Amino acid sequence: MSELIKKTAAELAGALAAGETTSVELTRAHLDRIAAVDGTAESGVHAFLHVDAEGALAQAAASDARRAAGQSRHLLDGVPIAVKDVLATQGLPTTCGSKILEGWVPPYDATVVRRIKEAGLPILGKTNMDEFAMGSSTEHSAYGPTRNPWDQTRIPGGSGGGSAAAVAAFEAPLALGTDTGGSIRQPGAVTGTVGVKPTYGGVSRYGLVALANSLDQVGPVTRTVLDSALLHELIAGHDPLDSTSVDAPVGSYVAAAREGAKGDLAGLRVGVIKELAGDGWQPGVMERFAETVDLLKELGAEVTEVSCPTFVHAMATYYLILPAECSSNLAKFDAMRYGLRVVPEGDPSAEAVMKATRDAGFGDEVKRRIMIGTYALSSGYYDAYYGQAQKVRTLISRDFAAAFEGVDVLVSPTSPTTAFPLGEKLDDPLAMYLQDLATIPANLAGVPGISVPAGLAAEDGLPVGFQVLAPALADDRLYRVGAAVEAALTQRWGGPILGEAPTLEGPR
């Protein structure tokens, strides 16, 4: 195994700048790693749905040529990246983990993809995910699950299990994810990696195949807080193609991460969310969380307990708004213009083709949410369901606003449990939904959140995530606090947490 793949993106950028390596060399190293450990739907990590070795190497060669000519475009120019398969990539398949989009190759790039291409980051491939980002385990991918590098009998989280596992398994130093209710942060927590959901509108959604438009946000998936900050600054900023993108200057995330890594949080006011704890929360998770809160105090922060009473309704609210929006978003998959087309026997009408295609092309979880959403928007039920959910959503935002009057950041465990065994919750959607209990409120309110590794749970030795939430547009606070926690814990552990993960062998 090449030592290059163990380096962080910031280190790789430094090595490239110092002429110690080339983009082709390190892109090839990551492609080799993918070939060695990623395997297939049946075995191996299976973080990737599509690997673009040829394209990545060509982009790497172009990056090296630019560097030789003194025309590098960005600090990360030449550092390879993996992209969640929910983002449109021109010339590369984009399936969203669904059979209904099998073979679809977008004729355009998502804005975030365009930005990483323009900055010169070679795209290694597209990562696995729950179908249309619906799930917390990546088991709902139509192309087979991703397996957790810490224990391949367990889930890597979801929906962005592919991006998190790719980074955790050293198949990529950087990845892009999307977070609608925790799809970046919860996989980060259960794979011992870092994941950031930016402020809603902070990063363009153009080219992100929407799950729930009012909740979705693209964000970085990395092994360090600094790497997330570097990637976040690259992809953030106003996009005229996304009306909901914020027209404000991008914050100084890298500077905040470097400042935080110094370990001084004196004067920082931290609120522990009272409602995000209690029965059903794994003891090992709560232990690591309490320990990390104590760490914040040691670093100088003032910690108080904060109550956000409406958060207990966040789950119910989320599971009305999300299905409503997605039931409409997914209507476009009708076999008329692209993707799967199933033609029934005989001389079927367009309507019959639509029905047969959607029946064959969507998985059960997708159908479940389409039905719930269709119902919630129906005449006579709208006010009771969708309308009511929007009101609760407003109350949740108010709880955040009230809390942030007294504290600078809020904290909680990212996820109630560590990675659970594959298949354990597949037949119990409600148990699966509970995985996102702590991450959903941030999406409903549009505020940013980060998950950083907080250690391993005593009972199973699996990673636990520590979540930090900040007010809208104050994403820099996530980096300051996240980097402080990361620096102190890494020192305590004597190295990065992924050093504790088992060494991966190639698939048997």
Partner 1 sequence: MSETLVPFDEVVERFDPALGLEIHVELNTNTKMFCGCPAVFGGEPNTQVCPTCLGLPGAMPVVNGKAVESAIRIGLALNCEIAEWCRFARKNYFYPDMPKNFQTSQYDEPIAFEGYLDVTVPDENGGEGETFRIEIERAHMEEDTGKSSHVGGSDGRIHGADYSLVDYNRAGIPLIEIVTKPILGTGDKAPLVAKAYVSAIRDLIVALGVSDARMDQGSIRADVNLSLAPKGSGVLGTRSETKNVNSLRSVERAVRFEMSRHAGILDAGGSVLQETRHFHENDGTTSSGREKSDAEDYRYFPEPDLVPVAPSREWVEELRATLPENPAVKRTRLQGEWGFTDLEMRDTVGAGALDLVEQTVAAGAAPQAARKWWLTELARRANDAGVELTELAVTPAQVAAVQALVDAKTINDKLARQVFDGLLAGEGTPEEIIAARGLAVVSDEGALSAAVDKAIAENPDIADKIRDGKLAAAGALIGAVMKEMRGQADAGRVRELVLEKLS
Beta partners for 176?
Answer: 83, 220
Q: Please identify, using beta-carbon distances, which residue of 316 and 336 lies nearer to partner 1.
A: 336
The reply to whether 377 sits near partner 1 by the rule CB under 8 A is yes
Largest CA distance in the chain: 74
Shortest gap between Cβ of 15 and partner 1 (angstroms)?
A: 34
Both tokens of 342, joined, read 């199933």
Q: How far apart are CA 332 and CA 315, in angstroms?
A: 27
Both tokens of 187, joined, read 């996989």
Distances in whole angstroms, Cα of residue 440 to Cα of each of 236, 322, 355, 445, 476:
22, 11, 32, 9, 20
CA end-to-end span of the chain = 17
* DSSP at 502: P
Burial class (CB within 10 angstroms; exposed 0-12, middle 13-18, buried 19+) of 455: buried
Shortest gap between Cβ of 132 and partner 1 (angstroms)?
A: 10
The reply to whether 374 sits near partner 1 by the rule CB under 8 A is yes
Site string for partner 1, 53-92 (x = CB under 8 A): ----------------------------------xx----
Q: How many CB atoms lie within 10 A of CB 503?
A: 7
Kindly give the pairing relationship between strand 269-273 and strand 409-413: parallel
Q: How many CB atoms lie within 10 A of CB 372?
A: 18
Shortest gap between Cβ of 384 and partner 1 (angstroms)?
A: 14
Choice from 1, 249, 300, 332 touching partner 1 (CB under 8 A): 332
Choice from 351, 405, 427, 505 touching partner 1 (CB under 8 A): 351
Q: Please identify, using beta-carbon distances, which residue of 87 and 155 lies nearer to partner 1.
A: 87
Q: Please identify, using beta-carbon distances, which residue of 307 and 378 lies nearer to partner 1.
A: 378
Q: Please identify, using beta-carbon distances, which residue of 96 and 468 lies nearer to partner 1.
A: 96
Active site residue 84: yes
Please compute, for residue 52, the number of CA atoms within 13 A of its CA located in the half-sphere on the CB side. Answer: 22
Choice from 26, 101, 133, 432 touching partner 1 (CB under 8 A): 101
Shortest gap between Cβ of 50 and partner 1 (angstroms)?
A: 16
Choice from 49, 82, 164, 354 touching partner 1 (CB under 8 A): 354
Active-site residue identified among 63, 72, 159, 228: 159
Residues with Cβ within 8 Å of residue 287, at least 6 apart in sequence: 457, 458
From 24, 64, 75, 10, select the one nearest 234 (Cα to Cα). Answer: 75
Residues 200-229 within binding reach of partner 1 (CB under 8 A): 205-210, 212-214
Shortest gap between Cβ of 117 and partner 1 (angstroms)?
A: 16
Distances in whole angstroms, Cα of residue 399 to Cα of each of 306, 391, 435, 446, 476:
10, 13, 21, 13, 21
Active site residue 379: no
Choice from 25, 50, 238, 244 touching partner 1 (CB under 8 A): 244
DSSP per position, 199-213: PTTSB--TTB--SST
Shortest gap between Cβ of 366 and partner 1 (angstroms)?
A: 14
Choice from 1, 35, 331, 458 touching partner 1 (CB under 8 A): 331
Buried b / exposed e along 106-126 (16+ C-beta atoms within 10 A): beebbbbbbbbbebbbbbbbb
Active site residue 141: no
**Count of residues interacting with partner 1 (CB under 8 A):** 44
Choice from 39, 44, 106, 198 touching partner 1 (CB under 8 A): 106
Which residue reads 């690259």 in tokens?
234
Shortest gap between Cβ of 244 and partner 1 (angstroms)?
A: 6
Choice from 386, 404, 433, 479 touching partner 1 (CB under 8 A): 386
SS3 category, 378:
coil
Q: Are 482 and 198 in contact (CB under 8 A)?
A: no
Choice from 238, 269, 303, 328 touching partner 1 (CB under 8 A): 328
Part of the chain binding partner 1 (CB under 8 A), chosen from 35-43, 72-80, 377-385, 407-415: 377-385
The reply to whether 108 sits near partner 1 by the rule CB under 8 A is yes
Part of the chain binding partner 1 (CB under 8 A), chosen from 38-46, 103-111, 159-167, 302-310: 103-111
Shortest gap between Cβ of 86 and partner 1 (angstroms)?
A: 8
Contact set with partner 1 (CB under 8 A): 87-88, 94, 96, 101, 104, 106-108, 110, 205-210, 212-214, 240-244, 324-325, 327-328, 331-334, 336-338, 350-351, 354, 374, 377-379, 382, 386
Q: Which residues are catalytic?
A: 84, 159, 183
